[in-house]
Amino acid sequence: MNGTLTAPRVNAARRWIRRGFLLWAVVSSTWLANSVRTQGLPDDALRATQAVRVVDGPTALEFQPMTRNGKAALLFICGSGIHPHAYAPLLRPIAESGYPVLVVKLPYRFAPLAAHRDQALDRARALIAAHPDVAHWVIAGHSLGAALVARLAQTDHGLDAAFVLLGTTDPK
């Protein structure tokens, strides 16, 4: 008789433990996603000037120089969880030197699924195709973005580009 009375209590305890774990997972994931924010960004990093036009679109952040310096451009793919604005202090000076800089935004900022990573590569290819005037590309990425750059180098053989991988993970 004692065995039949304790079984429902054990099942109820397990249910509450599962619910508690699920709640913890949701809260900690939300906190983590929220804590990886752009902080300390200079006020003028995303502001257009006479030298650089800034376009913050849904799939890309662009720094377009008003005066071009040759036919080269930089395509940059963000790291997982890192907002594209965080790269502005690093990439804007390149645009100020006369080279267009196009920053690919990852879907959902983390590209959690393989389909999202494929979507990021499609965004990169679309940006390259939208700039036929660029003869030489430097394609760079950070962390997951660097792994995507490696995949792009592996699959797009006709691309005339130099590749830069920053803090990459395994590209597979």
* Residue 73, strand partner residues: 137
Residue 170 has pLDDT above 70, yes or no: no
Is this prediction's pTM over 0.85? Answer: no
The share of the chain scoring above pLDDT 90, in percent, equals 69
> pLDDT tens-digit profile of 43-77?
889 999 999 999 999 999 999 999 999 899 999 99
Whether 1 has a pLDDT exceeding 50, the answer reads no
Q: Look over the chain and give the mean of its residue pLDDT values, rounded to a whole number.
A: 90
Q: What is the DSSP string of 108-146?
A: GGT--SHHHHHHHHHHHHHHHHT-TT--EEEEEEETHHH
Helix or strand run (H / E) with residue 28: helix 2-35
What 8-state DSSP symbol labels residue 86? G
Architecture of the CATH domain 52-166: 3-Layer(aba) Sandwich (3.40)
